[in-house]
Chain A
Amino acid sequence: NAGVTQTPKFQVLKTGQSMTLQCAQDMNHNSMYWYRQDPGMGLRLIYYSASEGTTDKGEVPNGYNVSRLNKREFSLRLESAAPSQTSVYFCASRYNEQFFGPGTRLTVL
């Protein structure tokens, strides 16, 4: 029972490059979330998926897209990375409480 897994753990991109952050959960949760966390800013919701087949914008969706591939997997895509997207990204899944993945530390140069 791995909980929530995320790949990669670390990534360095150049401005304008694209990448996809992968997230998977094995707890059979319907709801999944993508957050970013910056110093002093707390957790900010980027996108969420209430159930398989649905996705909705959160607080800071600009520059991101998501795909809920199936019940287990929820990916986050940066189409054209910008330095402002340098952050730590957490995926979470939820039935009642949230379970977080280990995070992806992304630097955009």
Chain B
Amino acid sequence: QKEVEQNSGPLSVPEGAIASLNCTYSDRGSQSFFWYRQYSGKSPELIMFIYSNGDKEDGRFTAQLNKASQYVSLLIRDSQPSDSATYLCAVNPPPGGSYIPTFGRGTSLIVHP
């Protein structure tokens, strides 16, 4: 069974620090990886995607992918209280596979002033 594992947290960081969120996946053929942010009472929204090994930066967010280790991470620099949310890691099936993305259960992030 395809799995995506995340530490449920909560991860608590002070304002201005770097928050590091991690995710491992089981399907070695996966090629597309996503991070969603979900505020309490709201729906998930896409914040980052990454397809290639290495780092991808977008503003304060950096996604990191290591396919050999089957590991995806999200770094949030200069964390703000408004970043407090649950972060979901998602992995698409390999091309030609099922149509069902696999989601982790999410990591709760708390940024305290």
A interface residues (Cβ-Cβ under 8 A, vs B)? 31, 40-43, 45, 48, 50, 58, 90, 94, 96-103
**Which of B14-22, B54-62, B68-76, B97-105 binds A?**
B97-105
Interface pair B32/A100, CB less than 8 Å apart: no
B interface residues (Cβ-Cβ under 8 A, vs A)? 32, 34, 42-46, 49, 88, 90, 92, 99-101, 103-106
Interface pair A100/B105, CB less than 8 Å apart: no
For residue A102, which residues in chain B have a CB less than 8 angstroms away from its CB? 42-43
Q: A42-B106, A43-B88, A96-B92 are in contact. Are A101 and B101 (CB under 8 A)?
A: no
Interface pair B43/A90, CB less than 8 Å apart: yes
Interface pair A100/B43, CB less than 8 Å apart: yes
Q: A48-B99, A58-B100, A97-B49 are in contact. Are A41 and B43 (CB under 8 A)?
A: no
Q: B8 — nearest CB in chain A belongs to which residue? A: A40
Which one of B90, B104, B105, B106 lies within 8 Å of A98 (CB-CB)? B90
Interface pair B104/A42, CB less than 8 Å apart: yes
The list of the 10 closest CB pairs from A to B, nearest first, reads A42-B105, A100-B43, A50-B99, A43-B103, A97-B46, A103-B43, A100-B44, A31-B99, A97-B34, A102-B43
- Measured in the bound complex, the distance between the Cα atoms of B93 and A31 in whole Å is 13
For residue B34, which residues in chain A have a CB less than 8 angstroms away from its CB? 97-98
For residue B92, which residues in chain A have a CB less than 8 angstroms away from its CB? 96
Q: A50-B99, A101-B43 are in contact. Are A41 and B90 (CB under 8 A)?
A: no
